Structure 1
C-alpha cells in the first residue's frame, strides 16, 4: 500500500467510526459516545494537519475544526458532571444533566456536523485528484519535515520558563497527536513519546481544575469545591513541571542520538 493509499484508508476508517459515534449520541446509548467522537475527530485532524495547505484537505480540515469547537464545551460539561458526582455533589450534577442532554440533541442536528459528513464524502475523490495533479509529490518527505518542526517548537517552549502553560498544553497535545498519526515518520524516541503522553495527562489535570476554579467564581453552587480545586490545580501543575523537565531531557537526548 502506498503512503497516499494508507492516508486515504485511515480517513475512511475514521469516517466510519465518526458515523458510528454520531449514531450512539443520537440514540443516547452510553456516556462515552461524545468522547469517542472527539477522539476519532482528533485522529483525523492530526492526519490532515500536515496536509492542510492542500486544497483538497483544507475544506475537510476546516469542517473538522468546526465540529471540534462545537463539541468542546459539551465535553467539558461531561467532565464537570463526572467530577461533581465523584465529589458527592449529586444535586449540582443533576442540575447540569438536563443541559447536557439538550446539548447532545443540538450536536446531532447541527449543520456543522452535517457539513463534516458532506466534506468526508467528497474528500477521497478530491484527494485523488490532488494526487493526479502532482500536489502530493514528496508528501512523505514534507510531512516528516513538518513533524520535525513541530518537535523543535516544543523543545524551544520547554526551555522557556516563562512560556504560558496553557499554550504549552496545546503544543504538547499537538505534538503528541502529530507523532501518533505518523509513527513511521516520528522524529522522537519511544521513551520520549511515552513521556509526552504523561505530560499531556498531567497538564490536562491541571487545566481541568483551573477551569473549574474559574467556573466556581461564576456559578454559586460550585463554590463549595473552589478551595479544593485550587489546591488540586496547584499540585497538578507542580507534578506537570517535573514531567516537563523529564520530557525536555528526553528530547535533548533524542537530538544528540
Structure 2
C-alpha cells in the first residue's frame, strides 16, 4: 500500500489540451471505464478498464492524501465484480502528461458526466503539493480547485453526478403547464427543493385535470385518479418532510387528507359495484348502492367546486411556483438522490417492521396498516427509481406493486362487509343474498391473507438487500 498525494482541479473545457500541445507537451490518450464495488466515506474499491489493462484499486482516506493499493485483475474477476457493482459506471477519455516532471492527467468525462473536465497532478511529498505553482498556460483554464471537495471524488461522481448542477425550475413548470404527461427524470445532484417543486407541480396538474373531468362527466376513473394523486402528494410530503417548511407541509397535508377522505364512500361503492355486477342475485343490493352512489357523486362535485377547496389548490400552486426562502426546510439544498435514498431506506425499515408483525392470528386492521406502508414505498419507487443504478430495485418495485394490490383487495373486502352490514340494518335488503355474499367475501379474505403470508418471508429478504445497497447514498 502506498500514499496517493494528489491535487485536483476543474477545467473550463478541452482548451487546456490545446494549450498543452502548443507548449510542446507530449500527451498519451486512452479510454477509461471504471466502476465501484464498495463505497464508504473513508474507503472505496474500484475496478478499472483502460485499453486492455484491468486493475482493482483500494483507496482509504479523504482529501489530498490517501492510502492506495492497486493490483492487476483478470477478466473473470473483472466481470464478476461488474455484476456486483454499485452506483453508475464512469467513462472518460484520459490524457496523460508531465508538468515539471510530475505525473498529471486531464480527464474528459462522458455519458451523464459529460461537460466535466478535470486536471489531476500527483506528488511525492505533501510539501511539494502545498508549494506547487501552476504554470500560467494551465492556470488560465482552471475554474476551481477541488482537492478537498469530496463531491468531486470519482466515487461520489458515480453516486451523485456533477455537483452544483443548475436547473431552471421556472422553465420546467412552464413546460408542465402545457404538457403534464411528460416523464420526469431528475439529475442526481439536483437540489431536493427544485426536484420536489417540479414533481409536486406535475401531480397538481394531474389533480386539476381529473377534477375538471370528473365535475363534467362523473367519470369513475377520473375520481380514482384524483384520489391517487392526492394520496401521492400527502405521502411524498410526509416522506420528504424536511425539504419544505414543516408548518406549511402539515397545513397542506391536512387539507389534502380532508379532500381525499371526502371521496372514500363513493370510491368504495364504485369498487364494490364492479364486484357485484359479476355476482348472481345481487340486483337489489346494486339498486341500493346506486342510489347512495349518485348522492355521493353530487356531494363530491359540490365539494370540489367549492370556493374553500379551490382556494386550497390555488394556495398550493402559488407555493410550488414561488422560490422563497420562507418555504424552505433544513434539507432543501441537499441532492435529491441523497434525500430519496434515505427516505426509501427508512420506509423499507418501517415496512419490514409491519410485515414481521403479520401472522395468521393478526386481525385485518394490522394488515391494513401495513398496506399503507407499501403504498408509500411504491410512490417513492414510481417517482424516483431512475435515480439509482441498483439492479435489485426494479425487481423490488414490481414486487411492491403486486403485494400492495393484494393488501388492497383485502381491505376492499373488509369494507364490503361493512357496507353489507349497513344495508342489513338500515335498508330493506335481500337477507339471503347478503348472507351468501358475505360467505363468499369471507372465504376470499382468508385466501388473500394466506397468499400475503406465503409471500412475506421472501419479500423481506428482497427489502433487506435493497436497503443495504441504498445506504451508500447518504453515508
* TM-score normalised to structure 1 length: 0.86
- Per-residue deviation, residues 108-157 of structure 1 (Å, max 9, x unmatched): 22256334313323312456334678761326334432321111111222
Where does residue 210 of structure 2 map in the other structure?
A: 21
Are the counterparts in 2 of residues 21 and 34 from structure 1 also a CA contact under 8 Å?
Answer: yes
Matched, 1:118 2:118: no
Secondary structure at the residue paired with 1:182? Answer: helix
Which 5+ residue runs of structure 1 have no aligned equivalent? Answer: none
Stretch moving more, 212-221 or 94-103: 212-221
CA distance in 2, matches of 1:215, 1:134: 45
Secondary structure at the residue paired with 1:87? Answer: coil
CA distance in 2, matches of 1:36, 1:46: 15
CA distance in 2, matches of 1:161, 1:36: 30
- Per-residue deviation, residues 64-102 of structure 1 (Å, max 9, x unmatched): 111111112221111112211121423322322222122
Tell me how large the CA RMSD over aligned residues is: 2.7
Task: Tell me which of 211, 220, 224 is aligned to 1:35.
Answer: 224
Q: Which has the higher contact order (CA 8 A, sep 6+)?
A: 1
Are the counterparts in 1 of residues 385 and 393 from structure 2 also a CA contact under 8 Å?
Answer: no
Task: Tell me which of 403, 418, 423 is aligned to 1:219.
Answer: 423
Counterpart mapping for 1:78-157 below 5 A: 78-88=270-280, 89-110=282-303, 111=306, 113-125=309-321, 128-130=324-326, 136-138=332-334, 140=336, 141-157=338-354
Give, in angstroms, the shift of residue 231 of structure 1: 0.6
* TM-score normalised to structure 2 length: 0.49
Are the counterparts in 2 of residues 56 and 130 from structure 1 also a CA contact under 8 Å?
Answer: no
Stretch moving more, 142-151 or 154-163: 154-163
Where does residue 457 of structure 2 map in the other structure?
A: 245
> Counting strand residues as a fraction of each chain, which structure ranks higher?
2
Stretch moving more, 24-33 or 118-127: 118-127
CA distance in 2, matches of 1:133, 1:236: 41
Matched, 1:69 2:261: yes
CA distance in 2, matches of 1:131, 1:227: 53
Are the counterparts in 2 of residues 63 and 115 from structure 1 also a CA contact under 8 Å?
Answer: no
Secondary structure at the residue paired with 2:443? Answer: helix
Is the alpha carbon distance of 1:133 and 1:58 closer, same or farther for their aligned partners in structure 2, counting shifts above 3 Å? closer
Secondary structure at the residue paired with 1:219? Answer: helix
Where does residue 45 of structure 1 map in the other structure?
A: 234
CA distance in 1, matches of 2:314, 2:403: 36
Where does residue 87 of structure 2 map in the other structure?
A: none
Where does residue 175 of structure 1 map in the other structure?
A: 377
Give, in angstroms, the shift of residue 226 of structure 1: 0.6
- Per-residue deviation, residues 158-191 of structure 1 (Å, max 9, x unmatched): 2334572222122222222233233246787211
> Counting helix residues as a fraction of each chain, which structure ranks higher?
1
Where does residue 199 of structure 1 map in the other structure?
A: 403
Matched, 1:208 2:412: yes
Are the counterparts in 2 of residues 22 and 33 from structure 1 also a CA contact under 8 Å?
Answer: yes
Give, in angstroms, the shift of residue 34 of structure 1: 0.6
Structure index of larger Rg = 2
CA distance in 2, matches of 1:207, 1:122: 36
- Per-residue deviation, residues 188-214 of structure 1 (Å, max 9, x unmatched): 721111111111011111221222223
Give, in angstroms, the shift of residue 19 of structure 1: 1.6
CA distance in 2, matches of 1:109, 1:235: 40
CA distance in 1, matches of 2:328, 2:453: 48
Secondary structure at the residue paired with 2:325? Answer: helix
Aligned length: 257
CA distance in 2, matches of 1:198, 1:209: 17
